[in-house]
């Protein structure tokens, strides 16, 4: 079993929908939780990070971490076709290497 699990999708939604992306993990030592967006043939781009448990909001994006359940989520409100990409969750323990999920491919249809 992988340390970080993520549903590969693809997830197809209509424009304007609320998108929910999720990851589960097994290593309780993880402290920093990140979401990256990756367009085809590009490197991952950091969207948001959260330290420990709680919620964080940035524009249309909300990240949630539930350490008791070892479960993290990313919500995208008012989704746009430009949000179509692969979304990767990643986590680490205080500056060590990031451990990534396998990524969820999202398609937002106009």
CB 42, min distance to another protein, A: 6
Counting Cα atoms < 13 Å in the Cβ hemisphere of 65 gives 21
Using the minimum distance from each CB to another protein, give the nearer residue, 19 or 35.
35
Q: Looking only at residues 16 through 55 of this chain, which bind another protein when binding is defined by CB under 8 A? A: 31-32, 34, 36, 41-46, 49, 51
Sign of CA dihedral 79, 24, 102, 29: positive
Using the minimum distance from each CB to another protein, give the nearer residue, 85 or 90.
90
Q: Looking only at residues 76 through 105 of this chain, which bind another protein when binding is defined by CB under 8 A? A: 88, 90, 92, 94-103
Using the minimum distance from each CB to another protein, give the nearer residue, 17 or 73.
73
Task: Kindly list the residues in this chain that would bind another protein in the complex (CB under 8 A).
Answer: 4, 6, 8, 31-32, 34, 36, 41-46, 49, 51, 88, 90, 92, 94-103
């Amino acid at each position: 079993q992988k340390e970080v699990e993520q549903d590969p999708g693809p997830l197809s939604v209509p424009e304007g929908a609320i998108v929910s992306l999720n990851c589960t993990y097994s290593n309780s030592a993880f402290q920093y939780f990140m979401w990256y967006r990756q367009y085809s043939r590009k490197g991952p781009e950091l969207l948001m990070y959260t330290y420990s448990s709680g919620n964080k909001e940035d524009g249309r994006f909300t990240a949630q971490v539930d350490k008791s359940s070892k479960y993290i989520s990313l919500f995208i409100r008012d989704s746009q076709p430009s949000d179509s990409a692969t979304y990767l969750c990643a986590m680490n323990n205080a500056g060590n290497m990031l451990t990534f999920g396998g990524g969820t491919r999202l398609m937002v249809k106009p």
